[in-house]
Chain A
Amino acid sequence: GAVVSQHPSRVICKSGTSVKIECRSLDFQATTMFWYRQFPKQSLMLMATSNEGSKATYEQGVEKDKFLINHASLTLSTLTVTSAHPEDSSFYICSAMFRQGNEKLFFGSGTQLSVL
């Protein structure tokens, strides 16, 4: 089955630093990947859609200058949280669409970001 690898799984950083999260599709090419954020006891919230070779599409209310997305290859998308603040502490998850017959969405294992 399709595998999506995400790392790091956990990051603790000081306020004001930038954090990069990587999302890789290991055995398939993903022209589109999605980035989500999930606060405790809340649902997944789509932040942005990452398209290979073009700019990401951000959801309303998500600051594109704060959450930088780069999708430079068909197997890698990165999310950089710039100048992180405590309110950015959250669980970040990526996913990629796998197409073999029917479309299916596979997720990375998530990154728990804690900003001190």
Chain B
Amino acid sequence: DAGVTQSPTHLIKTRGQHVTLRCSPISGHKSVSWYQQVLGQGPQFIFQYYEKEERGRGNFPDRFSARQFPNYSSELNVNALLLGDSALYLCASSAGQGNSPLHFGNGTRLTVT
């Protein structure tokens, strides 16, 4: 079975632009979470979606938004990019609403110049 897939793998954007990151969960998994990992730090929670509804939001500005589609895939959108948004964005899926355990994709490396 395919694992969690994310696209694109790398992305370079300019300050002020908008970006959309995509994630396909493991087949049968209904929960998708997004995490931001800045170099040298642990992942920070951004969003969780379960059954197409937002079930949790981390301490990120409104420039960050996400949604989950009927096939359980998900998009993370970031508007008005800042240099500080440069990070590895990780998507994770799990079978249930909880976090036990999470299956991560290999992430999208976003560089904002």
A and B bound?
A: no
Query: Interface on A for B, CB 8 Å cutoff?
Result: none
